[in-house]
Amino acid sequence: MTFEDFAINTNSVGDARETVIFWGEGENLNSFEEGLRSNGYIESYEILADVPPDHRLYRVTFTPEAMCLSSYALVMKHNLVFTDVHGENGTIHARARVHDRDRLKGFLADMGDIPELTIEVDGLYDEVANADTYTSGRFKISPAQRKALELALDTGYFEEPRETTLEELGDELGVSEGAVGGRIRRGVRALVEYYLKQ
């Protein structure tokens, strides 16, 4: 599978171990689905909901062989729950909940034995200690949204009158005018929703 600008939110919906239900968000959902179809460990997938322009609710069922995959088995062994997964430029960024640091250490040690995977921990966050500032799943902006928002801010898109256009922002980011506009709208909405609920 190729991950370029794609996000998965598994925070609110789940199913049995052989099946996962999650929201996909991004402009490359068709490419993501091609990856699902060509993946030998996925038995089937179904689109449960399609919310234009770029949100789809998926149900993915794994093959019995997938249940024996070391990475999947280790996620289950150490009781990790992934709440956010973002793909950008071939790298997957994930946010997961884990019961304690010992389980995280065990997971990382076990994953280190898988040669095709490289895992780096960007940071640890204590939800209980930081409950007043925690942003989960749907309120977190994706890396692509953050990049678009930062560029828009730096180049005067939010000024009155505007000092740049969506077309110029899209050219700078290498995406269409509609794509950068969508990233900005979704990012602003996520930030506003989060801060208004504090």
- List the CATH number of the domain containing 145: 1.10.10
Q: Do 66 and 147 reside in the same domain of the chain?
A: no
Mean pLDDT of the chain: 77
- Give residue 131's pLDDT: 44
Could you give the angle at which helices 101-111 and 70-77 cross, rounded to 10 degrees? 170
Residue 133 DSSP code:
T
Q: What is the mean pLDDT of residues 181-186?
A: 91
Q: Do 98 and 145 reside in the same domain of the chain?
A: no
pLDDT digits (tens, 9 = 90+) for 90-127: 677 777 888 888 888 888 888 777 666 677 777 776 65
Q: Do 96 and 145 reside in the same domain of the chain?
A: no
pLDDT digits (tens, 9 = 90+) for 4-13: 444 555 444 4
Q: Do 15 and 89 reside in the same domain of the chain?
A: yes
- Whether 119 is covered by a domain: the verdict is no
Contact 96, 83 (CB under 8 A): yes
Structurally, the chain folds into a number of domains equal to: 2
Q: Do 97 and 170 reside in the same domain of the chain?
A: no
- Whether 38 is covered by a domain: the verdict is yes
Question: Within 10 Å of residue 29's Cβ, how many Cβ atoms?
Answer: 19
Specify the amino acid at residue 61.
T
Query: What is the C-alpha separation between 129 and 134, in angstroms, rounded?
Result: 9
pTM flag (> 0.75): no
Q: What is the mean pLDDT of residues 154-180?
A: 93
Q: Do 14 and 60 reside in the same domain of the chain?
A: yes
pLDDT digits (tens, 9 = 90+) for 42-100: 889 999 998 888 888 888 888 877 766 656 677 778 888 877 776 666 677 777 888 88
- Whether 190 is covered by a domain: the verdict is yes
- Give residue 29's pLDDT: 86
User: CA 124, 129, 135, 141: dihedral to nearest 10 degrees?
Assistant: -30
Q: Do 23 and 88 reside in the same domain of the chain?
A: yes
Domain that holds residue 91: 6-111
What are the residues whose beta carbons fall under 8 Å from the beta carbon of 96, sequence distance 6 or more? 80, 81, 82, 83
Q: Do 21 and 67 reside in the same domain of the chain?
A: yes
- Whether 88 is covered by a domain: the verdict is yes
